[in-house]
């Protein structure tokens, strides 16, 4: 079988490419390399079962020929981060909504047999209940979350209307090697690891008791493969670790000093996926423990040596728009 990964040079996509190659599949990757890195897939470039195309999903005519003879599409390409989505909502709409439309149209025209979409748990906003079920109300707090959910709605609509089997995987806080080391202020692991390298205190938001459903990237890649191989269709599934861990716990595992910065509006005190449905539908369960996952990250610490070093003042400046538009609501 021949599999296509949009965003396949990115963090999750490159791990999925490894898994698919190791599982005997032929793999095609499309990536514009704005967020993805060629280094993430350099070890695959000489593999006869792997092909890479530097293309942008915003351009339908450019990507259409690549979908010929593809059996399954994993749609992971997209723009992430909260603040840039508030500052540049059109760019996020173009990529996460129009780009998804283009991937779906290219898939439909090529008669692709299965689509697996990378959705975001940020679509839940600030849920009423934890662990959070797939039936929980959708409450996006910022354009990134909204556009990812709009992409999911497109995927489900194309699945129903054009009879294309599809599954949407709502990802909770994915972490692991190859996660992005540059760009906007964002994911806590990248921020903390750079601070550790440079012997800076960890900038903990609020009091650090907030918890996140940290889910290791190789477990997430396995979930994508199981979704592709499943007969299930037109369904959204949470991807989480089965537990949640405080930022203070993470700091304890990393070791080092802490400085506290103001809590940000629009962020939940907890993210915690109810994974009952995915265990039932795909027989999937996360296997990598939080302690082991953090240990793996520390062994890759040098990957963050050139990452931005965030300090309270630079974080304050970088998140000013966040407070301006999401505060006092």
Residue pointed to by tokens 């459903």: 213
Residue in 172, 164, 185 with CA at minimum distance from that of residue 134: 172
Length of the chain: 329
Share of the chain above pLDDT 70, in %: 98
- How many Å is the maximal CA-CA distance in the chain? 55
> Looking at the predicted structure, is the pLDDT value of residue 327 above 80?
no
Helix (H) or strand (E) holding 116: strand 114-120
Domain extents in the chain:
2-174+214-239, 179-212+243-271+288-326
How far is it, in rounded angstroms, from Cα 322 to Cα 309?
20
Mean pLDDT of 45-68: 98
CATH topology of domain 2-174+214-239: Rossmann fold (3.40.50)
> Looking at the predicted structure, is the pLDDT value of residue 183 above 70?
no
> Looking at the predicted structure, is the pLDDT value of residue 328 above 80?
no
Catalytic positions, written as ranges:
144
Structure letter (DSSP) for residue 304: G
Residue pointed to by tokens 């939080």: 290
What is the model's pLDDT at position 322?
A: 84
Three state DSSP letters for 198-212: CCCCEEEECCCCCEE
What is the model's pLDDT at position 307?
A: 87
> Looking at the predicted structure, is the pLDDT value of residue 329 above 60?
no
What is the model's pLDDT at position 208?
A: 96
Residue pointed to by tokens 């032929």: 26
Does residue 29 sit in helix, strand or coil?
strand
How far is it, in rounded angstroms, from Cα 164 to Cα 300?
39
Spatial contact of 67 and 107, defined as CB atoms under 8 Å apart: yes
How far is it, in rounded angstroms, from Cα 46 to Cα 114?
27
How far is it, in rounded angstroms, from Cα 17 to Cα 3?
9
Q: Which CATH number fits domain 179-212+243-271+288-326: 3.40.50.300, 3.90.700.10, 1.10.3720.10, 3.90.25.10?
A: 3.90.25.10
pLDDT in tens, 228-242: 999 999 999 999 999
pTM of this structure: 0.96
């Amino acid at each position: 079988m021949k599999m296509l990964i949009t965003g396949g040079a990115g963090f999750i996509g490159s791990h999925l490419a490894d898994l698919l190659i190791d599982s005997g599949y032929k793999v095609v990757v499309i990536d514009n390399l704005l967020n993805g890195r060629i280094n993430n897939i350099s070890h695959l470039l000489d593999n006869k079962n792997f092909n890479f195309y530097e293309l942008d999903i915003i351009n339908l005519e450019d990507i259409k020929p690549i979908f010929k003879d593809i059996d399954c599409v994993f749609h992971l390409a997209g723009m992430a981060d909260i603040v840039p989505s508030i500052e540049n909502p059109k760019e996020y709409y173009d990529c996460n909504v129009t780009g998804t439309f283009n991937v779906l149209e290219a898939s439909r025209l090529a008669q692709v047999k299965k689509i697996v979409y990378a959705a975001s748990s940020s679509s839940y906003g600030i849920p009423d209940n934890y662990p959070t079920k797939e039936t929980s109300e959708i409450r996006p707090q910022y354009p990134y979350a909204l556009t990812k959910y709009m992409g999911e709605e497109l995927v489900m609509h194309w699945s129903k209307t054009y009879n294309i089997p599809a599954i949407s995987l709502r990802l909770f806080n994915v972490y692991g090697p190859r996660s992005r080391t540059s760009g906007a202020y964002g994911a806590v692991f990248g921020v903390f690891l750079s601070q550790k390298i440079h012997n800076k205190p960890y900038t903990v938001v609020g009091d650090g008791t907030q918890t996140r459903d940290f889910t290791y990237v190789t477990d997430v890649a396995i979930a994508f493969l199981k979704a592709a191989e499943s007969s299930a269709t037109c369904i959204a599934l949470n991807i989480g670790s089965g537990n949640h861990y405080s930022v203070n716990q993470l700091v304890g595992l990393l070791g080092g000093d802490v400085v506290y910065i103001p809590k940000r509006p629009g962020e939940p005190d907890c993210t915690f996926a109810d994974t009952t449905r995915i265990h039932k539908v795909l027989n999937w369960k996360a296997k990598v423990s939080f302690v082991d996952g953090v240990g793996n990250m520390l062994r890759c610490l040098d990957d963050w040596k050139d990452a931005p070093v965030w300090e309270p003042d630079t974080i304050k400046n970088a998140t000013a728009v966040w407070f301006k538009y999401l505060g006092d609501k």
